[in-house]
Structure 1
Amino acid sequence: MRSALRAGMTLIITLLLFLAFNLVWLPKLPDIRWDFSQQKIHTLSPATRQLLTTLESPMDLYYFNSKVPQKSHALKRYSQRVEDLLKAFEKAANNKISLHIINPAPFSEDAYKASLFGLDDTRGFIGLIGTRAGQGAQRIEAFNPDTESLLEYEISHLIYKLMYPERPTVGLLSGLPLAAPAGNLLEQMRKHFNLVELAPTLTQVPASLGTLMVVQPYALPEKALYAIEQSVLRGTKLMVFIDPVSEIGANAGSANVRLNALLTAWGIQMPADKLLVDNLYASSAKPGPGMPTVLHPARLQLPRQAMAADDVSTWKLNSVTVSSSGALSRAAKSHTLFTPLLQSSPQSSLLDAARFASSTAFDALVEEASTSGQRHVIAARLEGPAYSAFPDGLKGQPPGLQKAKHIQLVVVADTDLLSDTVGNAHPNNNALFVLNTLDNLAAPEALRRIRARVMTPPLHRLEPMREAAAQAYRQSAGELERRLEHTEHAWQRLNPPATSLGTQAVDTNTQLQALNKERLRLPVELHALKVQAYASLHRFEHTLKWLMIAPMPLLLCLIAWVLFLYQRRRRAAAMTAAC
C-alpha cells in the first residue's frame, strides 16, 4: 500500500515539475537558433537588419496562409518558410512590426478581407498585407516558390514602401523621340516615379537626381555624354539603352568614338555595327505595313531561361521581347562586376547590321545563326570602379571627376523593347523589366544591398546533364519548330475562324488537309525528339530515386532479421539451459 502511495506521489510531483518547466521557465529561456546552411538562408542579412533599424513608426503585417486541400506539399512547405522569415523580421524590428498570422477558411470573413485587398486565391491564399497609420496599404498578392531566392528582398521591399510611400524621382534623357513610339511605357513610368525629362542639350545633370535613364546616347552631343559621365562618377545610378540599329529612330545609331570610350571606361563593350540573330528565340514579325508575317531573326522573344534567375531586374518576368539588339561583353582589364541579365540562346551569332536593310533575306539569315554553344549578353548589370573618358575635360571647361570607387549601372543593348510596337507584338514583360530596374536603382543602399540567396542548391551532377539534354533538344528541334510555326501560320491563313450555326461541313480542300496533317504530325515528332534527348537524364534520375528510397526498407528488413535471429538464439539458449 505504501509503495503504491509513494509511486503515485512521485508521479504527481514529476507532472507538476514538468508543467512548471513548460509554463514558467521555458518561456524565459533565450531563443537560440543555429543556421548551418551554406548561404545562411534562415538568417536575415546585415542589409535587412540595417533597413529595419531605420523604422520610425510601427506597422502591421497580415500574413494570409489558408489551409486548403488544393495546396501542394511543396507550396505548404514554402508557406511555412515565409512564415518563419516573417517572424524573423518581427523579432529584428524591435517592436516596430506586429505580425498577424491568419489562416482564412473558405467563404469566411478573413477570406473575404483577403480578396478585398487583392490577394490571389488561385492555389489558396499565401499573401501579405502591410499597413501603417496614416498611409495606404501595401500587398504581395501571392508568394511564388519560383522567386524564393528573392523572398527576403520581396518582404523588405514591402516594408520600405510602407515607410516611404512617396514615388522616387527618375531623370529621363533620350536621344530619340519617345512620346509617340513608347507612350505606354512612359505612362507607366509616370505612375511609379516622378519622371523628370531632361533636354538632350543639357550640360549638367541636376545633383538632385539620384537615378537616371538614358536612351540611345549615340544621338546625344558630346556635352551631354560628359554630363552623364560626371553624374555617374558622382554616384548617380544609371540605366542606359544602346542600340546599333534602333527601329524607333532609324538614323540615330552611328559610331561614336566618345561613347565607345565611355563604355570602355565603365568596363563594357558593344560593337556598333553588329546585330544579334538567334535561331532558337527568333519570333514572327511584319517587316512593314501590308507585308506578310515572316520569321524575324533579330526579333527575339526571350523566355525565362534566358534571364538571370536571381536578379531584381528580372523579378516576376516570364518573357522579354527585343528587336535588332546588339551584344555586350566585358572590356579588357575591367575591374567592374559584370552580371548578365538577358542573354541569347547558344544558337545565336552576330551579323553585320547592313545586311538587315533588305527584309527579304530574313529567312536565310536565320539559318546562319551559330550553333557553337556561345551565348551573347543583351543586358547586364555593372558595379565597381571606373575612370573618366574625358581626362582633359571639354573645351573651355576644366577637368571634372577623374574616377570613382563604385559605380552602379544597367546597360541594355536594345532600345526597341521600349516601343509599343514591340511590346504589343507578343505577350511580354518589357515594361516590368524597366520598372523593376529603375525601382531597384532608386532604392536606398540598405534595400539595394539585399542580394538573392539560393534556398535549395541543385545537385551538381544533374545541372550539366539537364543543360546538355536541353542543348541536344534545341539543336535537333530548331528546324521542326520553324516548320511548325510556318505551317501554323499558313493553316490559319487558309482556314480563318468563321461564325456558323449548328453543325459545320468538313473542308476537303487538298492543301488545307495537307497543312492540317503537317501541323498535327510535327508536334508528335517534337515530342519524340524531346523524349530521346532527355532519355539518359530521366534514366539517371530514376536510378537516383531508387538509390535514395531502397536503402531504408532494406535497412529495416536487415534490422528485423537481426532481431529475429537474436530472439531465436535467446529462446534456444533458454531451452538448452532448462534441459
Structure 2
Amino acid sequence: MSLTKKLTAAVLILVNFLLLHYIVSSLPLRMDFTQEGIYTLSDSTKTMLSKIEEPITIDFYTSKSVGELQSWFKNFSDRVEQMLEQYSKASGGKISLNVIDPKPDTPEEERAIAAGLNGQEIATGDRVFLGMVVAQGDTEKIQPFFNWNRETFLEYDISKTIYETQLLTKPRIGLITSLPLMAPPMPPMPGQPAPSNQIIIDQLSTQFEIVPVEPSAETLPAGLDLLALVHPKDLSDTLKYSIDQYALSGKPVFLALDPSSVTEREQGRQQMMMGQMSQPTPSDLPELLAAWGIEYDPQFVLTDPDNSLSQGRFTQPAWLVFRDEYTNRDLLPSSELEGLLLLEAGQLAHAEDATTTWEPILTTSEQAGQVGSMTLQFTQPQQLLRQAQPIGNAVSVAGLLTGEASTAYPDREEETHLASGDITVFIISDSDFLLDQFSVQKVNFLGMEQIQKLNDNQNLVANFVEYLGGSRDLIGIRGKAGTARPFDVVQAMEADAQKQYQAKLEIVEAELQEINSKLTQLVSEQANSGIIYATPEMEEVIAENRAKQAELKSQIRVIRRDLRQGIETLGTVIGAINLLWAPIGLLIFAIIFNRLRKNR
C-alpha cells in the first residue's frame, strides 16, 4: 500500500471515529457510573413527572459569562443544568427548559430580578444568578438561589418546586391534640390579654390550612392531606378506626405521643392550687401501634447521662438533647437540625415481626436507661440516674415508619373497609417539645416582640410536616452524594505522613524536654549564688537544644517533600491517563480495523 493510500485510510479512520463519537453523543442515552447515581433521577421523581397534566416551563438563570467566577461555582452550575435537562427528558415533553444567561445591565437580568431571584453580588459589583422560575399557566414558583451546601438534596429541591407549582389550594392538616396549641375561640376575660396560638401553629398556617378535630369526633373530616396527632387522649373508637383507615389509604400521619407531659403536669398543679383535682395521663394508641409494628410503653421515661440537659450545676437526666451523631443526617427533614430538646420522652422500638420499615430519626446513646413515668412527679432530678434501669443499647425516640401494614380492626365489615395498605407515619415520643416555652424565647425590643430560637424543635415539626404534607412521591426522594468526591489515595498518603511527622515529633520533643530540664537545673544551681551567667556547660546544652530543633525541622521538611512528590506523581499519572486514553483508544480501533480488513 502506497503512502498516499495509508494517509487516506488514516484520515478515514479518524473521520469515522469522530462521526461515531458524534452519533453516540447525540443519542438519548445516558450512563451514570457514579457510586450513588447522582446524575440519575429517582423512581419517585419519575412517577411525579408522569402525573403532570399541563405543560410546565422552567427558566433557569445561570451567570455563565461572568469571568470572575470560581471553578467550583461553574461546576455546580453545570450540575444543576444537567439535572434540569434530565427532568425535561423524563417528563415526556411536559417540561420545557430555557437556560438564560442574565448578563449585567441586560433585559435578562431585569427579568430575573423582577421574578424574585436574589443574585449574589461579587467583588466587581456584578450580580451572579443561579436560580429558576417554574411556571404552569398563571402559577409561578421560584427557587431564588441554588445553595451548593444542599447539593445532596438538589433533586428534592427541584422536585418540590415543580410539585408546588401545580397546587391550586393550600394542603389541609387535620389536628387532634389535648395540648393548648391553638388559642381558644372564646373572648378573653376583661383586663386579660387575648390568648394566642403557639408559634408552630402560626408558622404552619402560612403553608397549610389547619383543621381542628375534637377527640370526641366520630370520624375525620374529608379531604385532609395530612393528619397530626399531638398527645392524643380519650379518642372515640370510631375516630380511632377512621385514623386507621386514613393511614392505610396512603395519607401521611404525624404522631407525637407522650408518656409524661410536663405541660399537663404543670397545669394539674395549678388546678390543684385552685382546689381542683387533675391527674396527668400518658397518651397512647396501642391498637394502631401494634398493627403498625411499633412497641411503646407509656409507663416508662428515658434517661441518658450522655445527652441530658445540663445548665451549670443543674442536670435533668430525663430532658434529652439530640445533636450530631444522635440525629439522622441521611433523611432530608432532619439533615440540617443542630440541636433538639425532648422532655421526658419514651422508647420506640420496631417489632421483630413487623411488615413495615422503621428509619430512626433521633436515638439515645448506649448509656440510656428508663424510669417509671409516675415517679417523675415525686423524684428530684439528681436522683433519677440512680433509679434508672439500664437498657444496654441505644434506642429510638423518633422515626419514620413506612411500608405495608394491616388494619387494627380486622372484624369491621364496612364496604369501603381497607384490610391493609402502605402507610407513612412519623412518630416521636414527646409532645412538650412543640410548645413555645421549650423551643423559643420571646424578647421585647423597642416595644416589639421578637422571637429567638432556643433549639431546632420547631424546625423539626415544620420540616417533617412540610415533607409529609407534600406529594407522596417527594417522600421517596433521598439525598445523594455530592459531585465533590474525596481523593482517598491522597488522604491516605497525608494520614501516613502525619503519622511519621507525629512519631518524629514525639521523639525529638522528649529529647528537647530532657535538654531543657538539664538547662533548668544548671540555672537553678546558679540562682542560689545570686549571679546567673552562661557557663561552658550551659552553652553546650543550649547548642544541643538548637541542634535538635534544627534536626526536627529538617526531618519534617523531608516528610513534606516526599508527600508533595508523591501527590504530584499521582496527579501526573492521572493527567496522563486523561490525556492519552482517547488517542490510545483510537490507535486500538485502527489496529483492529486494519486486521479485520486484511482478513477479508
TM-score by length of structure 2 reads 0.64
- Measured in 1, the distance between the counterparts of 2:72 and 2:396 equals 33
In structure 2, the CA distance between the partners of 1:387 and 1:28, relative to structure 1 (3 Å rule), is: closer
Q: Report the equivalent of 1:198.
A: 213
- Measured in 2, the distance between the counterparts of 1:547 and 1:373 equals 50
User: Which 5+ residue runs of structure 1 have no aligned equivalent?
Assistant: 1-5, 286-291, 467-541, 560-579
Say which of 176, 179, 184 aligns to 2:182. 179
In structure 2, the CA distance between the partners of 1:170 and 1:554, relative to structure 1 (3 Å rule), is: closer
- The C-alpha deviation readout for 1:183-213, integer Å capped at 9, x for no partner, is 2111122221122111211122234324211
Q: Within 5 A, what are the aligned runs for 1:442-461? A: 442-455=469-482
Q: Within 5 A, what are the aligned runs for 1:376-387? A: 376-387=395-406
> Could you tell me how far 1:415 is from its partner in structure 2?
0.7
Secondary structure of the residue aligned to 1:214 is: strand
- Measured in 2, the distance between the counterparts of 1:400 and 1:546 equals 71
Please state if 1:231 is matched with 2:246.
yes
> Could you tell me how far 1:172 is from its partner in structure 2?
1.2
- The C-alpha deviation readout for 1:496-522, integer Å capped at 9, x for no partner, is xxxxxxxxxxxxxxxxxxxxxxxxxxx
- Measured in 2, the distance between the counterparts of 1:459 and 1:351 equals 48
Q: Report the equivalent of 1:418.
A: 434
- Indicate the percent of aligned positions where both proteins have the same amino acid: 26
- Measured in 2, the distance between the counterparts of 1:173 and 1:547 equals 66
TM-score by length of structure 1 reads 0.66
Say which of 415, 436, 447 aligns to 2:463. 436
Aligned residues, how many? Answer: 463
Q: Within 5 A, what are the aligned runs for 1:478-493? A: none
Please state if 1:552 is matched with 2:570.
yes
Q: Report the equivalent of 1:277.
A: 303
> Could you tell me how far 1:241 is from its partner in structure 2?
0.7
In structure 2, the CA distance between the partners of 1:314 and 1:69, relative to structure 1 (3 Å rule), is: farther
Say which of 46, 53, 63 aligns to 2:60. 63
Kept in 1: contact 2:370–2:391 (CA 8 A) = no
> Could you tell me how far 1:413 is from its partner in structure 2?
0.9
Q: Report the equivalent of 1:388.
A: 407
Kept in 1: contact 2:438–2:454 (CA 8 A) = no
In structure 2, the CA distance between the partners of 1:101 and 1:261, relative to structure 1 (3 Å rule), is: same
Kept in 2: contact 1:60–1:131 (CA 8 A) = yes
- Measured in 2, the distance between the counterparts of 1:109 and 1:368 equals 71
Q: Report the equivalent of 2:226.
A: 211
Q: Report the equivalent of 2:186.
A: none
Q: Within 5 A, what are the aligned runs for 1:80-229? A: 80-102=78-100, 117=116, 119=118, 121=120, 127-132=130-135, 134-180=137-183, 183-229=198-244
In structure 2, the CA distance between the partners of 1:216 and 1:372, relative to structure 1 (3 Å rule), is: closer
Q: Within 5 A, what are the aligned runs for 1:298-447? A: 298-314=318-334, 316-357=336-377, 361-363=380-382, 365=384, 374-392=393-411, 401=417, 403-425=419-441, 426-447=453-474
- Measured in 2, the distance between the counterparts of 1:370 and 1:142 equals 50
1:421 partner letter: Q
In structure 2, the CA distance between the partners of 1:265 and 1:371, relative to structure 1 (3 Å rule), is: closer
> Could you tell me how far 1:86 is from its partner in structure 2?
1.3
Kept in 2: contact 1:175–1:220 (CA 8 A) = no
In structure 2, the CA distance between the partners of 1:119 and 1:352, relative to structure 1 (3 Å rule), is: farther
Q: Report the equivalent of 2:38.
A: 41
In structure 2, the CA distance between the partners of 1:73 and 1:419, relative to structure 1 (3 Å rule), is: farther
In structure 2, the CA distance between the partners of 1:323 and 1:442, relative to structure 1 (3 Å rule), is: same
Kept in 1: contact 2:326–2:363 (CA 8 A) = yes
Q: What's the C-alpha RMSD, in Å, of the aligned pairs?
A: 4.8
2:293 partner letter: G
In structure 2, the CA distance between the partners of 1:200 and 1:459, relative to structure 1 (3 Å rule), is: farther
- Measured in 1, the distance between the counterparts of 2:479 and 2:51 equals 22
- Measured in 2, the distance between the counterparts of 1:55 and 1:398 equals 34
Kept in 1: contact 2:308–2:317 (CA 8 A) = yes
Q: Report the equivalent of 2:522.
A: none
In structure 2, the CA distance between the partners of 1:29 and 1:387, relative to structure 1 (3 Å rule), is: closer
Structure with max Cα Rg: 2
User: Which 5+ residue runs of structure 2 have no aligned equivalent?
Assistant: 184-195, 269-278, 442-452, 496-559, 578-600
> Could you tell me how far 1:424 is from its partner in structure 2?
0.3
1:389 partner letter: A
Q: Report the equivalent of 2:515.
A: none
- The C-alpha deviation readout for 1:150-203, integer Å capped at 9, x for no partner, is 221210110111122421122111233322485211112222112211121112
- The C-alpha deviation readout for 1:527-551, integer Å capped at 9, x for no partner, is xxxxxxxxxxxxxxx9x98897265
Kept in 2: contact 1:79–1:126 (CA 8 A) = no
- Measured in 2, the distance between the counterparts of 1:369 and 1:109 equals 68
Q: Which stretch shows the higher mean deviation, 307-316 or 197-206?
A: 307-316
> Could you tell me how far 1:420 is from its partner in structure 2?
1.2
Please state if 1:244 is matched with 2:254.
no
> Could you tell me how far 1:260 is from its partner in structure 2?
2.1
> Could you tell me how far 1:423 is from its partner in structure 2?
1.8
Secondary structure of the residue aligned to 2:242 is: helix
Secondary structure of the residue aligned to 1:317 is: coil
In structure 2, the CA distance between the partners of 1:70 and 1:304, relative to structure 1 (3 Å rule), is: farther
- The C-alpha deviation readout for 1:291-321, integer Å capped at 9, x for no partner, is x994433333323543322324325533333
> Could you tell me how far 1:28 is from its partner in structure 2?
9.3
> Could you tell me how far 1:399 is from its partner in structure 2?
11
Q: Which stretch shows the higher mean deviation, 408-417 or 120-129?
A: 120-129
Kept in 1: contact 2:249–2:422 (CA 8 A) = no
In structure 2, the CA distance between the partners of 1:437 and 1:458, relative to structure 1 (3 Å rule), is: farther
In structure 2, the CA distance between the partners of 1:222 and 1:549, relative to structure 1 (3 Å rule), is: same
> Could you tell me how far 1:265 is from its partner in structure 2?
1.4
- Measured in 2, the distance between the counterparts of 1:69 and 1:305 equals 41
Secondary structure of the residue aligned to 1:309 is: coil
- Measured in 2, the distance between the counterparts of 1:405 and 1:314 equals 26
- Measured in 2, the distance between the counterparts of 1:398 and 1:443 equals 29
Secondary structure of the residue aligned to 1:37 is: coil
> Could you tell me how far 1:142 is from its partner in structure 2?
3.8
Kept in 1: contact 2:215–2:233 (CA 8 A) = no
- Measured in 2, the distance between the counterparts of 1:459 and 1:364 equals 50
- The C-alpha deviation readout for 1:56-108, integer Å capped at 9, x for no partner, is 33333333445779977655543332221112112333443333445556788
- The C-alpha deviation readout for 1:393-437, integer Å capped at 9, x for no partner, is 5xxx97984731322211111111221111205533333322332
Q: Report the equivalent of 1:504.
A: none
In structure 2, the CA distance between the partners of 1:553 and 1:281, relative to structure 1 (3 Å rule), is: same
> Could you tell me how far 1:374 is from its partner in structure 2?
3.2
2:302 partner letter: L
- The C-alpha deviation readout for 1:432-485, integer Å capped at 9, x for no partner, is 3223323333333433333433457889999xxx9xxxxxxxxxxxxxxxxxxx
